[in-house]
């Protein structure tokens, strides 16, 4: 089950909105399962501006290299530097210690384009289908 307190993209990223207009983001359980063992990440830098659905970094696994897309537009205010030394946190705890970046959102209306946990799980069920 994907946490209900987040919004999801069709590209398998999550966004956890906070009351101050900031949000934490990462990859979903499904994404990390599809990637396999994650060995390296390229992360954005604090101060970088990101656009919804555009690449903000890359994740490298034993299977492939994939883009990480921004679930919403804004400014990167922090990155999870622990992932530099321990990229496996994305596999072990994708909704907790495996968070990727914190964003200060610049276009809150974009959140309407994201999926609820129920909609995301329906998307996964259709893909498995």
Asked if residue 96 is part of any domain, the answer here is yes
Q: Which domain holds residue 94?
A: 23-128
Residues 6+ apart with CB under 8 A from 60: 38, 39, 40, 41, 42, 66
Asked if residue 110 is part of any domain, the answer here is yes
Asked if residue 73 is part of any domain, the answer here is yes
Asked if residue 81 is part of any domain, the answer here is yes
**Tens of pLDDT, residues 45-72:** 999 999 999 999 999 999 999 999 999 9
Question: In this structure, what CATH number is given to the domain that contains residue 120?
Answer: 2.40.50.100
Asked if residue 6 is part of any domain, the answer here is no
Q: In 3-state terms, what secondary structure has residue 34? A: helix
Q: Tell me which H or E stretch contains 94.
A: none
Asked if residue 12 is part of any domain, the answer here is no
**Tens of pLDDT, residues 2-61:** 899 999 999 999 999 998 999 999 999 999 999 999 999 999 999 999 999 999 999 999
Domain count, the chain: 1
Which residues face 67 on adjacent strands?
58
How far is 126 from 112, CA to CA, in rounded Å? 21
Give the pTM.
Answer: 0.95
Asked if residue 78 is part of any domain, the answer here is yes
Asked if residue 107 is part of any domain, the answer here is yes
């Amino acid at each position: 089950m994907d946490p209900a307190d987040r919004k999801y993209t069709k590209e398998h990223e999550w966004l956890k909105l906070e009351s101050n207009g900031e949000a934490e983001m990462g990859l979903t359980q499904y994404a990390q399962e599809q990637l396999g063992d994650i060995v390296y990440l390229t992360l954005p830098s604090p101060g970088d501006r990101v656009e919804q659905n555009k690449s903000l970094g890359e994740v490298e696994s034993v299977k492939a290299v994939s883009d990480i897309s921004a679930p919403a537009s804004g400014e990167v205010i922090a990155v999870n530097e622990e992932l530099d030394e321990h990229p496996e946190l994305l596999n072990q705890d994708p909704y907790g210690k495996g968070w990727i970046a914190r964003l200060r959102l610049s276009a809150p209306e974009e959140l309407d384009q994201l999926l609820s946990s129920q909609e995301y799980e329906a998307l996964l069920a259709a893909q498995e289908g």
